Amino acid sequence: MIRPDAPLLLEIRDLTARVEDQPILKGVSLTIRAGEIHAVMGRNGSGKSTLSKVLAGHPAYTVTGGTVLYKGDDLLSLEPELRARAGLFLGFQYPVEIPGVSNLEFLRVATNARRAGKGEEELDTFAFEDLVRERLQVVQMDPAFLERSVNEGFSGGEKKRNEILQMALLEPLVAVLDETDSGLDIDALRIVAGGVNHLAGPDNATLLITHYQRLLDVITPDYVHVMAAGRILRTGGKELALELEERGYDWVDAELAALDRTPAEVG
Amino acid sequence: MVAASLSTPTALAGAGPGSWVAALLANATGGASAGADALAASRARAAQALAQLPVPTRRVEAWRFTDLAPLTALSPTLLSPAPAAQPETAARSLRLVLDGHSDPLAGISLPAGLEPIGGDELTNTLGQVLAATGSCELWPVLLNGATARNVLALRVRGPVATTLELVSDAGDGEGILPLRLLLVLEPEASLEVLQVHRSSGANLTSVVLEARLGEGAELRHGLLAPGAETGCLLATVAVEQATGSRYSGVSAHGGWALGRLEPRLVQREGAAHSALKALQLADGRQISDTHSQMVFEGPDGRLEQLHKAVADGQGRSVFNGAVQVPRAAQRTDAAQLSRNLLLSDRARIDTKPELEIVADDVRCAHGATVSRLEQDELFYLQSRGIAADQAARLLLRGFCEEVLQDLPEAARPWQPLASLLGEQGR
């Protein structure tokens, strides 16, 4: 839902970042207001996953330039946990397995950290169990998964459901979902996408990072951004995703080649 | 009874570990009760052998990484610990308190399937499993044999529904607490045993368990030993398995100045199942050591072994996992994995598989990893609002729980994780 007067949640300006010595992001700009759903599409290696990790504060990535404002404040100076407590959520492409740590305990600790960030009281184990059982329905997840170690031995679909369950518990203002559709069969995709739609509201925003159109068949984006070689090449509405689906990514390469020639001739 | 005879311990005759042993033997063999108990003959033999055996130094391969200095700094006397506070006993569990001198069975009615072994039978059986597992000449075994005043010896028939808890607390007294245990499982018998050994002072808990498993017998064995900064633990677990038997050992020790566990298993005719799952922790200047040995003397044997270690501070973790597969042990299936967590730049981990394989038709897998906390796991937790230090603690607990959750139920009241991480008051 686009409302020009909605509060600004995320303003990314000329963001550049590298991993080790390899520049990945080469000047990304993106503005997200409350109520909006954005999709960033692009080929593997275009930098879209890096963008999500940089926003969440992954230590392997170094920001080399640009700014990111979250609700008007500098995001990049915050530790990852403080970004999360402030309401930024990253749904992982490959959720991490943590043997020996119970999923229920993990969810409770995380939920209470976020609640503290919102100035709310921590939930005791009983109150939390009530909450988690209610939120399980958002992703139609079997409560048995609460008793297991975090993501350990979960199927791809179960891991993604567990991600959306976390999102349902943490109630983020900005949810960045990195390839949430990857590795999902049609049923799991529908359930996960249903969860995302259920949680999207006028006060929060969603940034979907995806390779394929099929996720956007079930979650309708307000904006679609095409990313290549660490930049956003083009921004449009949902029809841009359909165009990509039809024409493939080849035209992106052509556009990129043209773009790369220009600065070379100048410089 | 023993304590009274030790009121005037012999002073150290001179410096050096040899004189420490001499002083200990003088203290342990002196006193009116010497020769009066069932162990007298074997104790005399062990004392003689111990006196002739030099105290292992780091020039001896089996002790290359493990300095006995914390042990030989202890008072060379026998310890009679006072009764210590204990948690509530878990349901379906029988707790026997071992203090090295009183009879742990006094006033106890044993559950169906358990009976004490005594008299000639005890004399004849004791030491046989040590011999079968090649453990008789080990220094910690001799030290135990030369000093232990009594033995808890039990025969097991049929399935025993009650978990047997064998617990000691050396407390804060000085000296040595030798404990000797013997379990004979008749064919098809099954038993769950939990050993708990604690200390809060400058003392040594020396424990030797011999277990003989008849055909088709099953022993589920837990050993939990949260130690004291100045305390030492030398624990030997010798297990002799007949065909079709199952032994499953889950151990956790840490917090000792020197803690060493030696599980020594033999499958006499192969075709048995052995599982070893262990966790050891070393923080501060502690040494945590496991030397395990598995011998297959016949075909079709199985071993599953997971050894996990955490080293922090200037702690030192040592693991040596010997597996012997001689020619007779065809179709052996053995897997050993050593997983180590190095949490500090000044901590040290030495881990070594030691496979001797002569048989040609076997599967023997082994592996070892040493790592820090996984950055991706830490980041995942942080990205959910969990602070870095809390995330690290969660991961450490998770690493430990993978082993601790397999301890017998009866371990729960002892709070294995909290006691090992020093998170509980005593």
Mean pLDDT, residues B85-112 taken together: 94
At B131, the pLDDT band (50, 70, 90 cuts) reads very high
Is the ipTM of this structure higher than 0.85? Answer: yes
pLDDT at residue A188 greater than cutoff 90: no
In this structure, the number of other CB atoms found within 10 A of the CB of residue A127 comes to 12
The Cα of A121 is separated from the nearest Cα of chain B by a number of Å equal to 15
Q: Which residues have a Cβ under 8 Å from the Cβ of B39 and sit 6 or more positions away?
A: B126, B148, B149, B150, B151, B180
Does residue B373 belong to the interface with chain A, where contact is any CB pair within 8 Å? no
- Is pLDDT above 60 for B55? yes
Predicted confidence at residue A262, as pLDDT, reads: 63
CA distance A29 to B416: 52
Q: In the numeric block, which tokens belong to residue B187?
A: 């064919």
Q: Give me the pLDDT at residue B424, please.
A: 60
Taking the CB of residue B27, how many other CB atoms lie within 10 A of it?
22
For B155, phi then psi, to 5°, come to: -105, 145
Sign of CA dihedral B100, B102, B107, B112: positive
How far is the CA of B394 from the CAs of A160, B397, B415, in angstroms? 22, 5, 16
- Chain A residue numbers with beta carbons less than 8 Å from the beta carbon of B416 are none
Residue B122 is classified by DSSP as H
* A132 and chain B in contact, CB less than 8 A: no
Cβ atoms of residues B288 and B281 within 8 Å: yes
Angle at B357 between CA B216 and CA B291, to 5 degrees: 70
Amino acid at A229: A
- Using DSSP bridges, classify how beta strands A149-150 and A98-102 pair: parallel, antiparallel or unpaired: antiparallel
β-strands B114-116, A22-33 pairing: unpaired
pLDDT above 70 for A248 = yes
Which candidate from B383, B394, B400 shows the least CB-CB separation from A84?
B383
B377 touches chain A (CB under 8 A): yes
The sign of the dihedral angle between the CA atoms of B133, B136, B140, B146 is: positive
Q: What percent of chain B has pLDDT above 90?
A: 88
Interface with chain A: mutation pick from B383, B393, B407, highest number of A CBs within 10 Å: B383
Q: Which two tokens stand for residue B176?
A: 């040595």
CB contact under 8 A, B382 and A57: yes
User: What are the backbone angles phi and psi of residue B164, rounded to the nearest 5°?
Assistant: -95, 120
**Residue A54 touches partner B, C-beta closer than 8 Å:** no
Q: Which of A81, A92, A105 sits opposite B385 (nearest CB)?
A: A81
CA distance to B170, B183, B205, B406, per residue, from B98 (Å):
10, 15, 11, 24
- Would you say the C-alpha torsion B71, B73, B74, B75 has a positive or negative sign? positive
Cβ A99–B399 below 8 Å, yes or no? yes
- Return the sign of the alpha-carbon dihedral for residues B117, B122, B126, B128: negative
Taking the CB of residue B288, how many other CB atoms lie within 10 A of it? 30
Cα three-residue angle B122-B128-B134, rounded to 5 degrees: 155
Enumerate the residues of chain A whose CB falls inside 8 A of the CB of residue B375.
Answer: 59-60
Distance CA A121, CA A223 (A): 36
Residues B145, B44: Cα–Cα separation, whole Å: 8
Query: Using CA atoms, how far apart are residues B13 and B15, in angstroms rounded to an integer?
Result: 7
Across the interface, do A80 and B394 touch by the CB < 8 Å criterion? no
Residues of B in contact with A59 (CB under 8 A): 375, 379
| Interatomic CA distance for residues A224 and A39, integer angstroms | 5
- What is the 3 state secondary structure string of chain A? CCCCCCCEEEEEEEEEEEECCEEEEEEEEEEEECCCEEEEEECCCCCHHHHHHHHHCCCCEEEEEEEEEECCEECCCCCHHHHHHCCEEEECCCCCCEEEEEHHHHHHHHHHHHHHHCCCCCCCHHHHHHHHHHHHHHHCCCHHHHCCEECCCCCHHHHHHHHHHHHHHHCCCEEEEECCCCCCCHHHHHHHHHHHHHHCCCCCEEEEEECCCHHHHHCCCCEEEEEECCEEEEEECHHHHHHHHHHCCHHHHHHHHHHHHHHHHHC
Which of the 8 DSSP states describes residue B121?
Answer: H
How many pairs of residues across A and B have Cβ atoms under 8 Å apart? 83
Chain A environment of B397 (Cβ under 8 Å): 100-101
CA angle B404, B406, B407 (to 5 degrees): 70
| B377 contacts A100? CB cut-off 8 A | no
A172 CB within 8 Å of a chain B CB: no
> What's the rounded mean pLDDT across residues B116-140?
95
Residues B196-223 have a mean pLDDT of 98
Which residue is closest to A56 within chain B, CA to CA?
B383
CB atoms within 10 A of CB A22: 8
Do B401 and A101 make contact, defined as CB atoms within 8 angstroms? Answer: yes
User: What are B343-394's pLDDT values in tens digits?
Assistant: 999 999 999 999 999 999 999 999 999 999 989 999 999 999 999 999 999 9
A81–B386: do the CB atoms touch at under 8 Å?
yes
The shortest CB-CB distance from A113 to any of B374, B379, B386 is to B386
Q: Look up tokens 């069969």; give the residue.
A: A185
Helix (H, G, I), strand (E, B) or coil at B208: strand
Q: Find the CB nearest B385 among A96, A101, A113.
A: A113
Beta carbons within 8 Å of A11's beta carbon, 6+ residues apart: A30, A31, A32, A67, A68, A69
CB proximity A60 to B under 8 Å: yes
Residue B389, chain A, CB below 8 Å: the answer is no
The answer to whether A2 faces chain B, any CB pair under 8 Å, is: no
Q: Which residues of A touch B252 (CB under 8 A)?
A: none
pLDDT at B401 over 90: yes
Q: Poorest-confidence range of B41-55, B285-299, B337-351? A: B41-55
Contact B395 A101 (CB under 8 A): yes
- In B, minimum Cα distance to A167 occurs at B384
Looking at residue B167, its amino acid is: V
Q: Which of B383, B386, B401 sits opposite A90 (nearest CB)?
A: B383
Which chain A positions have a beta carbon within 8 Å of B388's beta carbon? 79, 81
Amino acid in position B199: S
CA–chain centroid gap for B148, Å, is 16
Nearest CA in chain B to A101: B398
The pLDDT score that the predictor gives to residue B5 is 38
CB contact under 8 A, B398 and A56: no
A58 contacts on B by Cβ (under 8 Å): 379
Confidence band, pLDDT 50/70/90 cuts, at residue A265: very low
Q: What does B243-294 look like in DSSP terms, one character per residue?
A: TT-EEEEEEEEES-SEEEEEEEEEETTS--EEEEEEEEEE-TT-EEEEEEEE
Instruction: Say yes or no to pLDDT of B96 above 50.
Output: yes
What is the residue-averaged pLDDT of chain A?
92
Using the predicted structure, report yes or no on whether residue A267 has a pLDDT greater than 70: no
**Calpha distance A45→A63 (Å, rounded):** 17
pLDDT tens for A73-100 read 999 999 999 999 999 999 999 999 998 8
In B, which residues are within 8 Å of A85 by CB distance? 385
- Per-residue pLDDT at B36: 53
Is the CB of residue B387 less than 8 Å away from at least one CB of chain A?
Answer: yes
Residue B152 confidence (pLDDT) above 50:
yes
Q: What is the token pair recorded at B147? A: 């000093």
Distance from CA of A111 to the nearest CA of B (A): 8
DSSP letters, B357-414, are: E--SS-EEEEEEEEE-S-HHHHHHHHTTT--HHHHHHHHHHHHHHHHHTTS-GGGGGG
pLDDT tier for residue B38 given thresholds of 50, 70 and 90 = confident
Report how far apart the first and last C-alpha atoms of chain B are (Å, whole number).
Answer: 28
A170–B387 C-beta distance less than 8 A = no
State residue B30's pLDDT score. Answer: 57
CB nearest A84 (choices: B377, B385, B397): B385
Interface contact flag, B377 A96, Cβ < 8 Å: yes
Is there a contact between B385 and A79 if contact means CB atoms under 8 Å apart? no
pTM above 0.80, yes or no: yes
Q: How many CA atoms lie within 13 A of A167 on its CB side?
A: 34
**Does residue B393 belong to the interface with chain A, where contact is any CB pair within 8 Å?**
no
Nearest to A48 by CA among A201, A205, A173, A180: A180
CB contacts of A149 in chain B (<8 Å) are 398
Coil vs helix vs strand at B48: helix
- Of the pLDDT bands very low, low, confident and very high (cuts 50, 70, 90), residue A44 is confident
Alpha helices in B90-163 (DSSP H): 119-125, 128-132, 139-147
pLDDT band at B15 (very low <50, low <70, confident <90, very high): low
Round to the nearest angstrom and report the end-to-end CA distance of chain A.
Answer: 42
Alpha-carbon span A81 to A61, nearest angstrom:
16
> Is residue B3 within a helix (H) or strand (E), and if so which, with residue range?
helix B2-5
B394 shares contact with chain A (CB less than 8 Å): yes
